[in-house]
Structure 1
Amino acid sequence: MTIRLPHGPYEPRTTPRSFGPTGSPPVSRTVFAAAHVVADPYADVPPGSPAAVDWDATLAFRRHLWAHGLGVAEAMDTAQRGMGLDWAAAAELIRRSAAEARAAGGRIAAGVGTDQLTGPAGRAAVRAAYEEQLALVEDAGAQPVLMASRALAAAATSADDYLDVYTGLLRQASGPVILHWLGPVFDPALDGYWGSADLDTATDTFLKVVAEHPDKVDGIKVSLLDAGREVDLRRRLPEGVRCYTGDDFHYPELIEGDAHGSSHALLGVFDPLGPLAAQAVRVLDAGDKEGFRALLDPTVALSRHLFEAPTRFYKTGVVLLAWLAGHQDHFTVLGGLQSARSLPHLARAYELADRLGLFPDPALAEHRMKALLSVYGGGR
């Protein structure tokens, strides 16, 4: 059976690829999938209103990730923090997901930010907002991920302002946290983070925070889409501090590593790739680097497509693939962002994912893709 996509006819797979859940996490790398949030498609949500979440489907997807042995990075960029998910909904998400993690025996980390601030704020207000979220995440039982803050980027006038805020937070944290450097390719409001638009200077400030408090930093998550810079950062970290790659373009080689070390992973693309990614890292656990790359390298084309500019709209493709894979019953994205990517973009994402065998039921994925095409007047 052929499906006619905007770029031409395509012959879908007819048999699924087998990725049986194991429940045991990989051992050679710590791997988190940053998980998306499922919107409630029947909620009457006017533009600018708080998000309406389908909690059952959202939590079921996290159980799917844990079943494959992956950790869940909760309430991060992939969950549309700052792009549809407000702090009230994020707080509820963290509490619910952390409770599910305890029940499932799954690992969970959760984003700590300042998105409850709705207008210009000084450093004291920014720090207080961070502290409020840090307390909630720790009380919920999740590992904190100190996310980059738009409010801090707007309020800071120098690198010292960043050092002051982050130093205070690390002193207050009850245990090791993950520091997250999200680059402007993901969020233009974060340009010049760490006090400089010069990445070498910004890197020095970032590493100074880590070096002064290595006992409070489990690791750093780097989302700059610059593999060379991540490798340099990785080699400069204090002993025992992990580097979690957030590079959705170069993750196979960064996770594999080199003679000087390797990256762990905290990736948005591992939301749709979860079962395959878990299998690949278990192959790496066995020392089979070639087998690891054979599994993961072919996924890069899909990831680069999902994360193409403007990168921040990758969530649309992630939700599309979750719908096509049967993890949710609809293609609705918080904030109406199902319209943020074109039909040709979505169709190409379907084809690339199908070629990888990501859909547990290829016939269902084909049926749903045809339904989407028909909405646009196509799908012959």
Structure 2
Amino acid sequence: MTDLTLLAADGAVSTVALEPAPEHRKPAGPLRSRVAYAAAHVIPKPFGDNTPGQPADIDWDATLAFRHHVWSWGLGVADAMDTAQRNMGLDAAATRELIARSAAEARSAGGAVVVGVNTDHVDDATLSLDQVIDAYKEQLHFTEDAGAGVVLMASRHLARVATSAADYERVYGEVLAAASTPVILHWLGEAFDPELRGYFGAADWPAASDTLLRIIENSAGRVTGVKMSLLKAESEIAVRRRLPASARMFTGDDFNYVGLIEGDDEGYSDALLGAFAALAPSASAAIQALDAGETARYERILGPTEELSRQIFTAPTFYYKTGVAFLSWLNGHQQAFSMIGGMHSARSLPSLSEIVRLANASGALERPELAAARWNGLLAQNGITA
């Protein structure tokens, strides 16, 4: 069996035995006990000019094949979200094309898809509240026309111009009134995007959650769920317990998802996670265990992946996309370890080495021999051998 070479932060080299691939099986039918979406990344052309500041040059065949991989495990795809490098390399034209292609592919495959709706196609740094509403509506209508479900994402424009909770209530109220189908709201914390600090009108989550809940209560049933990405399990549980029966909680907590999805006597969270893009087979197998009422097996499968996810999402958290793309490459879903905007350089080799170690230990390497060859080869290109 091949060994994996590991690289410590001080440059020390060691080796660890390569573990076999877990024997997860794809589900025979839909997953039942939880609704789960993997927030998918985009794959660039290896030869494209995807340097910083250039328009995204996407390998559409590989990008859509990755979505089929997610669907094949019974998970839904959350597309054009922050995992797809919204505001970090995915330009407006590429975003529109991704939404249209992903929605069409979902129809052909019978897969579930929701996509991000934002205001980021507008170049102006500052917009009035009315302009924020109009920008949201433009993307909303485009997405609905494409046939995809909607995740109403947090807007940097709104965060800049809003001066009170009432401003958020006004904007969301008008946008939701224009929606033809129920939507998922996304509360993205400042760890993922520092420009969103104080979203929903308050820097502390209890006050902000009051605003969020008022928006849902006043939406006339147009909110079907909330994706919370604050990386604070206590905040998600507190909001989850206050949601109306018509709205699901979708955990976006890539640090604490195992317990949040399992839940407690008062409820559980469904999932809409960037981590699940890197862990689709494990996520599916774990939810299949819940479907069978086997909580201990769920914990055995998914529990070890949480340390891996914490490494992928380590600070600066917004560079987590690099870890998702890196595992996609290790697992053979893309030809090269490259990202739009040159973002594959956002994590150091020792940081990637820790991802390799934890992926190997937690059963996240789908094709271990390929992963070892690619990783050891990358190290060798940088002059590092065991």
TM-score tier by shorter-chain length is over 0.9
Q: Name the aligned partner's letter for residue 234 of structure 2.
A: G
What is the match of residue 376 of structure 1?
A: 382
Letter in 1 for 2:4: I
2:156 matched to which residue of 1? 150
> In 2 relative to 1, CA 23–375 (structure 1 residues): closer, same or farther, beyond 3 Å?
farther
Within the candidate set 279, 292, 317, 1:311 is matched to 317
User: Are 1:19 and 1:275, in contact at CA under 8 Å, matched by a contact in 2?
Assistant: yes
1:47: Cα distance to partner?
3.0
| Alignment equivalent of 1:204, drawn from 203, 210, 228 | 210
CA contact (8 A) 2:168 2:200 kept: yes
Counterpart residue number, 2:92: 87
| Structure 2 residue 276 is the aligned partner of structure 1 residue 270 | yes
- Pairing partner for 1:288 from 277, 294, 298: 294
Q: Which position in structure 1 is the counterpart of 2:370?
A: 364
SS in 1 for 2:212: helix
**Offset at residue 359 of structure 1 (A):** 2.2
1:254 aligns with 2:260: yes
* Bigger mean CA deviation after superposition, 42-51 or 117-126: 42-51
Tell me the CA shift for residue 122 of structure 1.
Answer: 1.1
1:107 corresponding residue in structure 2: 112
Identity of aligned residues (%): 51
Report if aligned partners of 2:313, 2:319 keep a CA contact under 8 Å in 1.
yes
Alignment CA distance shift 1:45-1:14 (3 Å) = closer
1:52 is the counterpart of 2:57: yes
Cα distance, 1:231–1:205 mapped onto 2, change above 3 Å = same
Q: Tell me, yes or no, if the aligned pair for 2:50 and 2:340 is still in contact at 8 Å.
A: no
Q: Helix, strand or coil for the counterpart of 2:283?
A: helix
Question: Does the residue aligned with 2:48 lie in a helix, a strand or coil?
Answer: coil
Task: Tell me which residue corresponds to 2:42.
Answer: 37
> Aligned to 2:49, what secondary structure does the other structure show?
coil
Are the aligned partners of 2:44 and 2:50 in contact in 1 as well (CA < 8 Å)? no
3-state SS in 2 of match to 1:236 = coil
Q: Work out the CA distance in 1 between the residues paired with 2:80 and 2:90.
A: 9
CA contact (8 A) 1:12 1:366 kept: no
In the alignment, what sits opposite 1:62? 67
Give the Cα–Cα distance (whole angstroms) in 1 for the partners of residues 220 and 322 of structure 2.
Answer: 36
CA-to-partner distance for each residue in 1:240-281, whole Å, 9 max, x for gaps? 210000000110110011111110000000001101101101
Quick check: 2:68–2:109 contact (8 Å CA) kept in 1?
yes
When residues 35 and 46 of structure 1 are mapped into structure 2, their CA distance, relative to the original with a 3 A threshold, is closer
Q: 2:337 aligns with which of 331, 334, 339?
A: 331
- The separation in 2 between residues aligned to 1:20 and 1:347, in whole angstroms, is 28
Q: Deviations over 1:289-341 (max 9, x none)?
A: 12111111111110010001000000001101000000011000111111100
Q: Judge conservation of contact 2:26–2:285 (CA < 8 Å) in 1.
A: no
1:6 Cα deviation (Å)?
1.2
1:188 equivalenced with 2:189 (yes/no): no
Q: What corresponds to 2:121 in structure 1?
A: 116
Query: Judging changes above 3 Å, is the alpha-carbon distance between structure 1 residues 9 and 2 closer, same or farther for their aligned structure 2 residues?
Result: farther
Given that 2:34 and 2:270 are in contact with CA atoms closer than 8 Å, whether structure 1 keeps it comes out as yes
State the distance in 2 between where 1:16 and 1:143 align.
34
Residue 219 of structure 1, aligned match among 222, 225, 228? 225
Partner of 2:143: 137
TM-score (norm: length of structure 1): 0.97
RMSD: 1.2
Q: CA deviation at 1:358?
A: 2.2
Select the residue among 256, 262, 285 that pairs with 1:279: 285
Secondary structure in 2 matching 1:11: strand
Rounded to whole Å, the distance in 2 between the matches of 1:254 and 1:307 is 17
Task: Specify the code of the residue in structure 2 equivalent to 1:50.
Answer: P
Could you tell me which of 75, 80, 83 is aligned with 1:78? Answer: 83
Unaligned segments of structure 1, at least 5 residues? none
- Offset, 1:23: 5.9
Amino acid at match of 1:15: P
Letter of the structure 2 residue corresponding to residue 169 of structure 1: V
Letter in 1 for 2:204: D
Task: Indicate the SS of the match to 1:20.
Answer: coil
Q: Can you list the C-alpha shifts for 1:130-189, whole angstroms capped at 9, x where unaligned?
A: 101101111111110000000110111111111111001111111110000000010000
* 2:3–2:18 Cα contact (<8 Å) kept: no
